[in-house]
Chain A
Amino acid sequence: DAKTTQPTSMDCAEGRAANLPCNHSTISGNEYVYWYRQIHSQGPQYIIHGLKNNETNEMASLIITEDRKSSTLILPHATLRDTAVYYCIVRGTNAGKSTFGDGTTLTVKP
């Protein structure tokens, strides 16, 4: 599975959009980009995933660059409950070893 690089931490004002970047320059053609989050030691929660097209669901949007070497998770209107560690993971069709890395600690402030 490809390695990912994320900033260690980010802050966001409540009600504003939170844009979390992820670099995955060694991604291969059959690998998907997945985003999960972990709120205060709860189990990781799936947010969204994509292969090459941008994706949107009720939780977030995922923007993948054309060369697929980086992506951005967008939480359109961050709330205090979105404070969590966000993990960007790249892997193929099998969940495989699913290395979670260090993630980005997002703190949403009032």
Chain B
Amino acid sequence: DTAVSQTPKYLVTQMGNDKSIKCEQNLGHDTMYWYKQDSKKFLKIMFSYNNKELIINETVPNRFSPKSPDKAHLNLHINSLELGDSAVYFCASSTYSGSGNIQYFGAGTRLSVL
């Protein structure tokens, strides 16, 4: 079983549309994240949720709205898509074990806005 799974893997859409990316983890972790990796390959955190509560929101436009229905899921909804939103979006999860906090990443969702 995949530990952190994202759907869809590829997403091609027109400017102005609204789309969602789903993420699920079966590791029992209490913290989940969304990262964006643009064409320059820089991996930047967008959001972090701990036990369904938002704990990090890194100056992301409010067109991006994360939703965590439970600890195992963190979905990302994007309104009014823009060309600059084209990127690879990675979901991750982690938990503190007493000897560190290891993040596990999904395979990514490749979003192309035309």
Report Cα–Cα, A42/B105, bound state, in Å: 9
Cβ contact of A99, chosen from B45, B94, B101, B108, cutoff 8 A: B45
**B48 CB within 8 Å of chain A:** yes
Chain A at the B interface: SS class? loop
For the side of the interface on B, what is the size category? 20 to 34
Cβ contact of B100, chosen from A32, A42, A44, cutoff 8 A: A32
Cβ-defined contact, A44 with B105, below 8 A = yes
**A34 CB within 8 Å of chain B:** yes
A34-49 with Cβ < 8 A to chain B: 34, 36, 38, 41-46, 49
- Residues in chain B within 8 A of chain A (CB atoms): 4, 31, 33, 37, 41-45, 48, 56, 58, 88, 90, 92, 94, 96, 99-108
